[in-house]
Amino acid sequence: MDINVTEEVENSLKDNGLKKEEIQEIIEAAKTKGSKLKSRSEDTYIAKGGSENLTVYAVYTPSSNGAINLNNVYTHKMNVNGPTGGEIGEVEYDDESDWICDKCNEVALQRNVDMNYLGVSRPGPALVCPKCNETYVTQGVASTLKTAESILEEKRA
């Protein structure tokens, strides 16, 4: 699988300390496991992967002859634990998002989830598949999380 990146995305990879090969692995793994979202309006996907300490998202569009165009990458270090207030079903506010869980073909819902970092837990908005409970953080939220992560890291230091 070939990955096409613009200079901007190339820089974003560098900023996040990521290699193109890692993104390729994440996209391949997401294909097998189905841990990706599909846009409801365009041919765009968000694949989720990474490690326990760093969640990586790759936004991409399939291109001709099996290659993909990588539109964006973003990351967060916070761990997402699950819906705030415990079990699914107890959450009252569920707006539909513009994304579909690729595994279940269900529209992902906007929900508050508990996020943990350096022993601190705080609620934050995420996209959650109502069937498999897989959670995804949007790019906008991820950049907010980055700020929160820095503040927590400074406090700890």
How far apart are CB 134 and Zn ion at their closest, in Å? 5
Q: What is the pattern of x (binds Zn ion, CB under 5 A) and - over residues 68-107? A: ---------------------------------x-xx---
Site size toward Zn ion (CB under 5 A) is 6
* Amino acid (1-letter code) at residue 45: Y
Nearer to Zn ion, 70 or 109 (CB): 109
Other residues' Cβ atoms within 10 Å of the Cβ of residue 30: 22
How far apart are CB 29 and Zn ion at their closest, in Å? 16
Which of 14, 40, 131, 156 is in the footprint of Zn ion by CB under 5 A?
A: 131
Q: Write out the two tokens for 9.
A: 């995305």
How far apart are CB 45 and Zn ion at their closest, in Å? 14
How far apart are CB 129 and Zn ion at their closest, in Å? 3
132 makes contact with Zn ion (CB under 5 A): yes
Quick check: 67 and 1 in contact, CB under 8 A? yes
Q: Output the 3-class SS for 4-61.
A: EECHHHHHHHHHCCCCHHHHHHHHHHHHHHCCEEEECCCCCEEEEEECCCCEEEEEEE
**Signed CA dihedral, 151, 121, 108, 77: sign only:** positive
The residues of the shown chain that bind Zn ion, judged by CB under 5 A, are 101, 103-104, 129, 131-132
